């Protein structure tokens, strides 16, 4: 394609690049030197020809621009488009900020999206690795460091089609692997060709994903919590290892603020007194990473003890009897195989070790009096809302931690009534998860062909599967048991819509594995790690180039219960980038499939179908009704098929505004309490467990954990929650734990989800690099011991890797714990030193329990770096491939 005017805007690509470069130069100056910018403006020659898009007299249009990055918000982003170019951006000014309808204001990432779409690092056309050769990969060891050659789409898709066919013909479909949380159209095409080995992930939720349903919580542990308008009714609001200010922007913080104003006491549990905890002046209950099981067992112990001492005023025994099984020997479930129970274990009947606050404190680092405080807080007369995210569960051997989190809440009877909840604060739903107000319509596109290959590799095992040629394939959900040990000979890797080299455990092995196979291809918007290590890279459009996007409603469709946001196209696809669907469609044709059958609908038709099918719970009747009014004129102007309908708001008004918010009123039809139906009538609305109740004793849990085959140290899982020393956890930081002798890697490290990025997305953006330095956070106690001050370059290492990062010294971390933010793009220099702080270089697939990715149980050492100080990330040139035209 040449530099032709294209699409809706009337700007040529050449003039666009010039304009956006000019706009960026101005913005770069605004960032650091306002006085310079003023001077520059004054110096501009009067009457000089201006680019139209920079001329305030030329009118543009506000467009709602999609912002959806697996980030934890669902914010309104609007961009002002003049002549096809985005010149300004704003966020939600559609309502006053109020409890009834808080503003959905964008975070710094959303406000930087302009650089994501229009940045100079956008990949412009397909490219192939210079030393790649068909079917063998050529010089495979050069993956990641090779140069690139620009190729046409035709050639790129010919190569991909040929490599797919050759791999399938020579080695079979099991030789293809989709690593990471892959989605998408391209994998659908490969499925139509016979499929590939897929992957299973514990991802965000760690051990909670497996156990929650077994115990009685729905939705992989997302569970149920009260409508967030209820938080004001709590006496205590517990943030159990969450950090909403960083990891769930959007409206969480708004409702927390309201709760704070109403006098709610905040409590935070975790290793770092993070910004959210600090903002609400929370009481800090210190717990080292991966030690929550010990902490919570001691909380249970203390509750039993105080209840005895205070004659039943702590534990709600009637509640336990009605809604749970297994608290003690009097309430065993019918399927129990072991004559042991939770109460007696906690008291030390079976192992001689009462799980006292002092016992837990030696492991979790929690002062015993804080364990007593927590137990006292949970007593039944207090209104306690506990909210957890999943940081505590992205740890090895925390398989009983979510059980305990639930169990101690149930002991206080904190469920199903105002102010009481044992809930979670999942970023995907920005507060209220269940009981939807909007249900999004279906796109009408046929479901992607199913993957005929039934072998599935557990995420932590993907790189070792490639390197060793064996893996445990998936058995009955959720296990990958040892009897499913299988051979695998991976020859081709597909990287699309995930960043597994950066985000799965053990990035070093990822690099090795990727260099082993015959062919690797990826889709990418910029030069991500996956793109860097591929043979062929296919440039894909960003959200802003898509025809439209509809978000909101429920936890599964992201993110905010009370709002729907419809984004519309900001600009036509840039350069030669194509949508995933377009790429898949063209690939389908290349491999001889019927592309029109696989992808029959236009993007407009799919977007229209989603809009037309969306329903809303009526504020008057509580029944779901069509959301949009659609006319014959709408249908003909869209050029789609459909029927007119009556709804709550017209299609054109909704798309113009880009947002529809439901105003909340106290006691309205949208009010709910977690598990309210079960609490009202547990027989008519049983939990999905063998007993129909919450199971503090769960035979299913014990049986499946023991069958999973990941626990290698001889430990036997019990049906009730017990303590297991975690692999790579606190105890492993000692050479001799009993005598307090530290080992080679004496520091625990966890990975906060960091504001500069959404996982790996945006890591390359200069605005965000300037705003967020991506340091390693170190406790002031540890820093003082090592002579490290704020800003010093620190070397972090363990047996697998070493990285450099600037230190951020803080009093808000427990000594012995460092925090290395999640998601930077791995950047290993010629000496083997990573300069980005890519956290998964340090993690290892030492999975245990159900085989989860134990990201937050990990050990390292660190010191002040003696070499040249690291330059700040924003001074490092953006990662842009050098390409031969
Ligand atoms: N800015 C930003 N926001 C994001 C994302 C992102 O990449 N960037 N990703 C999104 C996604 S997909 C997810 S899953 C969520 C993750 O959201 P979270 O899991 O809530 O985020 P984290 O930052 O990993 O951890 C939150 C807090 O948990 C505490 N913590 C760490 N380990 C432990 C532990 O073992 N026990 C206890 N009790 N506390 C612990 C730490 O103090 C930390 O501040 O964030 C979402 N939001
Ligand atoms: N050590 C450690 N590792 C972690 C975590 C941790 O806390 N510590 N957190 C874990 C968690 S909670 C999660 S959820 C995972 C996330 O892991 P990933 O899902 O692998 O992370 P992302 O960086 O969001 O990767 C998404 C990629 O898809 C691309 N992409 C987005 N939309 C599209 C699209 O429409 N089309 C195409 N073709 N590409 C698209 C993005 O540009 C990006 O490159 O990471 C996990 N990894
Ligand atoms: S929180 Fe997420 S949706 Fe909101 S502006 Fe930031 S990146 Fe966008
Ligand atoms: Mo996640």
Ligand 2: does its nearest atom lie under 6 Å from the Cβ of 549? no
pLDDT confidence of residue 12:
33
Of 68, 398, 498, 826, best ligand 2 pocket probe by most atoms within 8 Å of the beta carbon: 498
Q: Which residue range is the domain that position 771 belongs to?
A: 730-875
Give the distance (Å) from ligand 3 centre to CA of residue 67: 6
Structural domain count, the chain: 3
Element (H, E) at 716: none
- The answer to whether residue 665 sits within a structural domain is no
Q: What stretches of 671-722 show up as alpha helix (H) in DSSP? A: 676-680, 699-708
pLDDT confidence of residue 83:
83
Ligand 2: does its nearest atom lie under 6 Å from the Cβ of 525? yes
Ligand 1: does its nearest atom lie under 6 Å from the Cβ of 69? no
CA–CA separation, 625 and 647 (whole Å): 7
Phi then psi for 386, rounded to 5 degrees? -105, 135
Residue nearest (by alpha carbon) to ligand 2 atom 29:
497
- The answer to whether residue 113 sits within a structural domain is no
What separation in angstroms does the CA of 713 have from each of 207, 397, 735, 764?
18, 11, 17, 42
Residue nearest (by alpha carbon) to ligand 1 atom 28:
241
Domain stops at, among 502, 524, 539? 539
- The answer to whether residue 284 sits within a structural domain is yes
- Give the DSSP letter string of 49-86: ---GGG-TTS--EEEE----SSSS-----EEEEETTEE
Domain stops at, among 491, 513, 539? 539
**CA geometry: angle at 95 spanning 91 and 99, to 5°?**
110
Nearest ligand to residue 245 Cα: 1
Phi then psi for 632, rounded to 5 degrees? -60, -35
Ligand 3: does its nearest atom lie under 6 Å from the Cβ of 196? no
- The answer to whether residue 217 sits within a structural domain is no
State whether 692 and 835 are in the same domain.
Answer: no
Q: What is the pLDDT of residues 365-380, one digit of tens each?
A: 999 999 999 999 999 9
The neighbour count for residue 450, using CB atoms within 10 Å, is 10
Whether the CB-CB separation of 238 and 264 falls below 8 Å is answered with no
Cross-strand pairs, 744 = none
Closest CA to 101 of 245, 232, 254: 254
The neighbour count for residue 283, using CB atoms within 10 Å, is 17
CA–CA separation, 392 and 688 (whole Å): 24
Give the distance (Å) from ligand 3 centre to CA of residue 758: 9
CA–CA separation, 885 and 883 (whole Å): 6
Phi then psi for 89, rounded to 5 degrees? -140, 145
Q: What is the CATH number of the domain that holds 521?
A: 3.40.50.740
- The answer to whether residue 421 sits within a structural domain is yes
- At 156, is the secondary structure helix, strand, or coil? helix
Residue nearest (by alpha carbon) to ligand 1 atom 29:
241
pLDDT confidence of residue 477:
64
Nearest ligand to residue 758 Cα: 1
Q: What is the CATH number of the domain that holds 332?
A: 3.40.228.10
- At 102, is the secondary structure helix, strand, or coil? coil
Give the distance (Å) from ligand 4 centre to CA of residue 850: 18
Whether the CB-CB separation of 401 and 393 falls below 8 Å is answered with yes
Residue nearest (by alpha carbon) to ligand 3 atom 7:
110
State whether 498 and 406 are in the same domain.
Answer: no
Give the distance (Å) from ligand 2 centre to CA of residue 853: 14
- Which residue's structure tokens are 């530099």? 3
Element (H, E) at 254: helix 252-261
Which of the 8 DSSP states describes residue 261? H
CA–CA separation, 794 and 57 (whole Å): 51
Length of the chain: 885
State whether 402 and 470 are in the same domain.
Answer: no
Which of the 8 DSSP states describes residue 95? S
Give the distance (Å) from ligand 2 centre to CA of residue 528: 11
State whether 863 and 784 are in the same domain.
Answer: yes
Give the distance (Å) from ligand 3 centre to CA of residue 547: 20
Cis peptide leading into residue 573 (ω within 30°): no
Ligand 3: does its nearest atom lie under 6 Å from the Cβ of 245? no
Whether the CB-CB separation of 102 and 74 falls below 8 Å is answered with no
Ligand 1: does its nearest atom lie under 6 Å from the Cβ of 755? yes
State whether 734 and 832 are in the same domain.
Answer: yes
Closest ligand 2 atom to residue 70 Cα is: 24
CA–CA separation, 614 and 552 (whole Å): 11
Give the distance, in angstroms, between the CA of residue 556 and the centroid of all CA atoms in the same chain: 13
Closest CA to 540 of 525, 530, 521: 525
Give the distance (Å) from ligand 2 centre to CA of residue 184: 14
**CA geometry: angle at 504 spanning 500 and 509, to 5°?**
90
Of 72, 241, 759, 820, best ligand 2 pocket probe by most atoms within 8 Å of the beta carbon: 759
- Residues contacting 507, CB < 8 A, separation 6+: 501, 801, 826, 838, 840, 841, 843
- The answer to whether residue 604 sits within a structural domain is no
Give the distance (Å) from ligand 1 centre to CA of residue 381: 30
CA–CA separation, 343 and 378 (whole Å): 17
State whether 404 and 477 are in the same domain.
Answer: no
- Residues contacting 502, CB < 8 A, separation 6+: 528, 529, 759, 760, 823, 824, 825, 826, 838, 840
- Which residue's structure tokens are 């749970």? 324
State whether 734 and 861 are in the same domain.
Answer: yes
Element (H, E) at 507: helix 507-514
- The answer to whether residue 71 sits within a structural domain is no
Ligand 3: does its nearest atom lie under 6 Å from the Cβ of 552? no
State whether 812 and 845 are in the same domain.
Answer: yes
Which residues in the chain land under pLDDT 70? 1-54, 181, 430-431, 476-479, 553-559
CA–CA separation, 24 and 119 (whole Å): 9
Closest CA to 277 of 389, 193, 178: 389
- The answer to whether residue 213 sits within a structural domain is no
Ligand 1: does its nearest atom lie under 6 Å from the Cβ of 110? no
pLDDT confidence of residue 72:
74
State whether 413 and 473 are in the same domain.
Answer: no
State whether 792 and 838 are in the same domain.
Answer: yes
Closest ligand 3 atom to residue 108 Cα is: 6
What is the sign of the dihedral through the CA atoms of 155, 161, 164 and 166?
negative
State whether 498 and 388 are in the same domain.
Answer: no
Give the distance (Å) from ligand 2 centre to CA of residue 383: 37
Q: What is the CATH number of the domain that holds 755?
A: 2.40.40.20
Give the distance (Å) from ligand 2 centre to CA of residue 760: 6
Whether the model clears a pTM of 0.75, i.e. scores above it, the answer is: yes
Domain stops at, among 539, 554, 580? 539
pLDDT confidence of residue 426:
80
- Which residue's structure tokens are 């080992």? 743
Closest CA to 187 of 16, 345, 179: 179
CA–CA separation, 588 and 626 (whole Å): 36
Ligand 2: does its nearest atom lie under 6 Å from the Cβ of 822? yes
State whether 314 and 421 are in the same domain.
Answer: yes
What is the sign of the dihedral through the CA atoms of 144, 146, 147 and 153?
negative
């Amino acid at each position: 394609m040449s530099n032709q005017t294209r699409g809706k805007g009337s700007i040529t690509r050449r003039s666009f690049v010039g304009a956006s470069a000019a706009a960026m130069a101005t913005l770069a100056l605004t960032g650091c030197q306002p006085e310079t910018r003023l001077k520059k403006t004054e110096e501009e020659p009067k009457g000089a020809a201006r680019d139209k898009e920079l001329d305030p007299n030329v009118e543009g249009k506000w467009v709602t621009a999609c912002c959806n990055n697996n980030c934890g918000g669902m914010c309104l982003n609007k961009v002002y488009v003049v002549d096809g170019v985005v010149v300004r951006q704003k966020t939600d000014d559609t309502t006053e900020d109020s409890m009834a309808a808080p503003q959905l204001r964008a975070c710094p990432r959303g406000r930087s999206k302009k650089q994501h779409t229009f940045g100079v690092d956008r990949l412009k056309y397909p490219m192939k690795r210079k030393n790649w050769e068909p079917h063998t990969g050529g010089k495979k060891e050069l993956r990641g460091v090779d140069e690139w050659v620009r190729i046409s789409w035709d050639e790129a898709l010919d190569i991909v089609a040929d490599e797919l066919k050759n791999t399938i013909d020579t080695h079979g479909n099991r030789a293809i692997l989709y690593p990471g949380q892959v989605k998408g159209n391209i994998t659908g095409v490969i499925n139509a060709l016979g499929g590939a080995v897929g992957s299973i992930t514990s991802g965000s939720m760690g051990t909670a994903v497996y156990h929650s349903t077994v115990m009685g919580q729905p939705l992989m542990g997302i569970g149920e919590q009260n409508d967030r308008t209820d938080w004001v009714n709590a006496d205590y609001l517990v943030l159990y290892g969450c950090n909403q200010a960083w990891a769930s922007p959007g409206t969480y913080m708004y409702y927390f603020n309201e709760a704070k104003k109403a006098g709610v006491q905040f409590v935070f549990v975790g290793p770092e007194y993070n910004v959210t905890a600090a903002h609400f002046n929370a009481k800090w209950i210190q717990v080292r990473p991966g030690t929550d099981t010990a902490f919570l067992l001691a909380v249970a112990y203390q509750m039993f003890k105080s209840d005895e001492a205070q004659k039943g005023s702590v534990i709600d025994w009637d509640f336990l009897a009605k809604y749970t099984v297994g608290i003690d020997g009097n309430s065993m479930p019918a399927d129990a195989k072991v004559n042991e129970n939770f109460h007696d274990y906690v008291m030390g009947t079976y192992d001689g070790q009462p799980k006292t606050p002092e016992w837990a404190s030696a492991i979790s680092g929690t002062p015993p009096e804080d364990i007593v405080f927590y137990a006292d807080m949970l007593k039944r007369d207090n209104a306690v809302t506990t909210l957890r995210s999943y940081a505590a569960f992205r740890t090895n051997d925390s398989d009983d931690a979510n059980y305990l989190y639930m169990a101690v809440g149930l002991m206080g009877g904190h469920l199903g009534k105002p102010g009481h909840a044992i809930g979670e604060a999942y970023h995907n739903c920005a507060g209220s998860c269940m009981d939807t107000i909007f249900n999004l319509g279906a796109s009408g596109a046929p479901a992607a062909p199913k993957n005929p290959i039934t072998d599935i590799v557990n995420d932590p095992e993907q790189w070792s599967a490639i390197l060793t040629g064996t893996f445990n394939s998936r058995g009955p959900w959720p296990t990958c048991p040892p009897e499913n040990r299988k051979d695998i000979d991976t020859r081709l890797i597909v990287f699309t819509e995930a960043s597994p080299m950066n985000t799965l455990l053990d990035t070093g092995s990822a690099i090795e594995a990727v260099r082993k196979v015959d062919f690797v291809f990826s889709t990418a918007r910029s030069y991500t790690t996956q793109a860097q290590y591929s043979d062929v890279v296919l440039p894909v459009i960003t959200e802003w180039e898509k025809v439209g996007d509809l978000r909101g409603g429920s936890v599964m469709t992201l993110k905010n219960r009370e709002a729907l946001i419809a984004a519309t196209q900001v600009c036509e696809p840039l350069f030669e980038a194509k949508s995933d669907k377009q790429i898949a469609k063209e690939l389908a044709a290349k491999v001889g499939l019927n592309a029109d059958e696989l992808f029959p609908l236009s993007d407009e038709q799919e977007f229209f179908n989603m809009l037309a099918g969306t329903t809303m719970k009526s504020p008057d009747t509580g029944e779901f009704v069509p959301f949009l009014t659609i006319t014959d004129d709408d249908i003909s102007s869209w050029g789609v098929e459909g029927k007119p309908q009556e709804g709550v708001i017209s299609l054109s008004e909704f798309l113009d505004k880009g947002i529809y918010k439901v105003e909340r009123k106290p006691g309205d039809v949208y009010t709910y309490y977690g598990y309210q139906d079960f609490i009202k009538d547990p027989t008519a609305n049983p939990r999905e467990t063998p007993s129909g109740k919450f199971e503090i004793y769960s035979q299913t849990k014990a049986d499946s954990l023991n069958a999973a085959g990941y626990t290698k140290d001889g430990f036997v899982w019990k049906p009730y929650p017990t303590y297991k020393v975690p692999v790579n956890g606190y105890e492993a930081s000692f050479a001799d734990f009993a005598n307090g002798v530290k080992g080679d890697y004496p520091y625990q490290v966890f990975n906060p989800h960091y504001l500069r990025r959404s996982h790996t997305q945006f890591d390359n953006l200069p605005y965000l690099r300037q705003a967020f330095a991506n340091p390693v956070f170190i406790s002031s106690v540890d820093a003082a011991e090592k002579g490290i001050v704020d800003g010093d370059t620190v070397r972090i290492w363990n047996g697998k890797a070493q990285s450099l990062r600037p230190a951020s010294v803080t009093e808000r971390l427990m000594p012995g714990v460092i925090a290395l933010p999640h998601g930077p793009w791995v950047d290993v220099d010629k000496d083997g030193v990573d300069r980005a702080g890519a956290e998964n270089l340090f993690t290892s697939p030492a999975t245990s329990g159900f085989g989860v990715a134990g990201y937050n149980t990990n050990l390292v050492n660190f010191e002040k770096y003696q070499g040249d100080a690291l330059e700040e990330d924003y001074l490092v040139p953006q990662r842009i491939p050098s390409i031969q035209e």
